[in-house]
């Protein structure tokens, strides 16, 4: 193990990274709150400001993956579609099987310049979580309660508001509704059998109603669906803790651009189309398992320096007052205060990391009744 790698594995470094993220995130949340008066004067200006502020938060996590960990990202896609990425609004359909798949989705957004304006469909409870949840609130993220009759109207109204969005955005959608686990997969395939649907090996059954509402609401706004399938080389299961320890992974992402007009408008036909899409996604994963790569040519978008610059800016800005505080505590001899602060910080870091672990995934999808609402 080299000296740099040894340094990255030290818990003190993890504390510093999380300190910068937490404090800068709260500062940015406060700045976002200050944009509310701007919204009354110019909604579009307030949106543009919030896009930049949101980038300051989300790009720090991308910087951990790209610059701290050095994780490589290889894109398999059609060269004819490649020039359109980042130049149009799109719905990005992602598989949900890894602890850091959301971060790889953000990296995909970052490399094509739409990270600050990217959208997701998130649980309503997340709107109350500081930093990420509050950031999403000001970004007009779509929040749902996982109660279909309520969510149908909420999702439709939220997406309709994006028709005049001032910059290109991607709407990242996990159609499976929850992260893949063996237990959820078993339940999902029982539902597939009961409905006469083709079974999937690497995915859960997609949630067709949410997808249909999304597509219908964004017709005329989004140009295409980007069908995206993620995998990691050497059968690795990357974790956020691994990234913080500086472990380098290699992500492979297969993306197909499907014009939105090719997706049926009828709800039943759209559901059938989505099930067929997931059968194809399963075949891509099977191809990857056998060959170690996805089909098609490789297009490798380069890392952009902005996430690193933003990360260094906040680190320099916030580490100075931290250094002064530590110096004062040490000189005062307040050992108990120092130990207590480190202990609380350690628990906070462990809690943050734990939220991404697969074993901590929600129970949504563990029961047949919840998967039966397609």
Q: What confidence tens digit (pLDDT) does each residue in 346-371 have?
A: 666 555 555 545 455 555 566 544 44
Nearest-CA neighbor of 27 among 17, 36, 19?
19
202 or 129: whose pLDDT is higher?
Answer: 202
What is the average pLDDT across 260-271? 96
Q: Percent of the chain beyond pLDDT 70? A: 88
Nearest-CA neighbor of 299 among 102, 86, 60?
86
In the predicted model, what is the mean pLDDT of the chain?
88
In DSSP terms, 258 is beta-bridged to 225
What DSSP assignment string belongs to 194-249?
Answer: HHTPPP-SSSPPP-HHHHHHHHHHHBTTB-EEEEEEEEEGGG----HHHHHTT---
Q: With 90 as the cut, is the pLDDT of residue 153 above it?
A: no
**Cα 250 to the center of its chain, rounded Å:** 17
- pLDDT value, residue 122: 85
Q: With 90 as the cut, is the pLDDT of residue 5 above it?
A: no
Q: With 80 as the cut, is the pLDDT of residue 175 above it?
A: yes
Q: Band of the pLDDT at 2, cuts 50, 70, 90?
A: confident
What is the average pLDDT across 54-74? 95
Q: With 70 as the cut, is the pLDDT of residue 134 above it?
A: yes
Q: For residues 85 and 108, is the Cβ–Cβ distance under 8 A?
A: no
CA distance 210 to 204: 15
- pLDDT value, residue 221: 95
Q: With 80 as the cut, is the pLDDT of residue 251 above it?
A: yes
- pLDDT value, residue 358: 46
Q: With 50 as the cut, is the pLDDT of residue 215 above it?
A: yes
Q: With 50 as the cut, is the pLDDT of residue 183 above it?
A: yes
What is the average pLDDT across 159-182? 93
364 or 312: whose pLDDT is higher?
Answer: 312
CA distance 129 to 119: 17
CA distance 253 to 77: 8
What is the average pLDDT across 34-55? 96
- pLDDT value, residue 188: 94
Q: With 70 as the cut, is the pLDDT of residue 139 above it?
A: yes
CATH of 20-305, one of 3.30.300, 1.25.40, 3.40.1130, 2.60.40: 3.40.1130
What is the average pLDDT across 84-92? 97
Q: Record the tokens describing residue 82, joined without a space.
A: 């490649």
80 or 340: whose pLDDT is higher?
Answer: 80
What is the average pLDDT across 249-255? 96
What DSSP assignment string belongs to 273-322?
Answer: HHHHHHHHHHHHHHHHHHHSS-SS-EE-PPPPTHHHHHHHHHHHHHHHHH
The residue extents of the domains of the chain are 20-305
Task: Average the pLDDT over each of 44-53, 237-246, 329-338 and give the range with the smallest value.
Answer: 329-338
Task: Average the pLDDT over each of 167-176, 245-254, 255-264, 339-348 and give the range with the smallest value.
Answer: 339-348
10 Å Cβ neighbour count for 300?
11
Element (H, E) at 252: strand 250-259
pTM of full prediction above 0.85: yes
Q: With 90 as the cut, is the pLDDT of residue 268 above it?
A: yes
What is the average pLDDT across 311-335? 81
326 or 23: whose pLDDT is higher?
Answer: 23
Q: For residues 204 and 152, is the Cβ–Cβ distance under 8 A?
A: no
């Amino acid at each position: 193990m080299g000296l740099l790698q040894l340094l990255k594995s030290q818990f003190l470094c993890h504390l510093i990274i999380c300190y910068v993220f937490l404090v800068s995130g709260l500062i940015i949340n406060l700045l976002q709150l200050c944009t509310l008066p701007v919204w009354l004067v110019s909604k579009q200006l307030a949106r543009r400001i919030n896009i930049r502020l949101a980038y300051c938060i989300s790009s720090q996590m991308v910087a951990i993956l790209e610059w701290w960990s050095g994780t490589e990202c290889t894109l398999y896609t059609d060269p004819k579609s490649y020039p359109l990425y980042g130049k149009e609004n799109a719905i990005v359909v992602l598989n949900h099987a890894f602890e850091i798949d959301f971060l790889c989705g953000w990296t995909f957004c970052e490399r094509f310049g739409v990270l600050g304006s990217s959208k997701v469909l998130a649980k309503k409870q997340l709107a109350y979580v500081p930093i990420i949840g509050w950031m999403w609130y000001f970004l007009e993220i779509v929040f749902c309660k996982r109660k279909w009759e309520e969510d149908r109207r909420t999702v439709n109204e939220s997406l309709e508001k994006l028709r005049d969005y001032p910059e290109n955005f991607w709407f990242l959608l996990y159609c499976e509704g929850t992260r893949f686990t063996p237990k959820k997969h078993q339940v999902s395939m029982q539902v597939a059998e009961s409905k006469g649907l083709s079974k999937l090996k690497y995915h859960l059954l997609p949630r067709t109603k949410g997808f249909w509402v999304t597509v219908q609401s964004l017709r005329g706004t989004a140009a295409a669906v980007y069908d995206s399938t993620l995998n990691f080389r050497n059968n690795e299961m990357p974790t956020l803790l691994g990234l913080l320890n500086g472990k380098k992974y290699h992500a492979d992402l297969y993306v197909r651009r499907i014009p939105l007009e090719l997706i049926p408008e009828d709800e039943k036909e759209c559901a059938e189309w989505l099930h067929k899409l997931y059968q194809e996604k399963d075949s891509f994963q099977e191809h990857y398992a056998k060959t170690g790569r996805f089909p098609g040519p490789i297009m490798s978008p380069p890392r952009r320096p902005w996430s690193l610059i933003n990360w260094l800016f906040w680190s320099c800005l916030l580490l100075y007052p931290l250094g002064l505080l530590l110096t004062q505590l040490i000189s005062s001899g307040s050992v108990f205060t120092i130990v207590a602060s480190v202990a609380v910080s350690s628990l906070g870091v462990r809690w943050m990391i734990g939220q991404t672990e697969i074993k901590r995934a929600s129970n949504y999808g563990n029961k047949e009744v919840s998967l039966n609402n397609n």
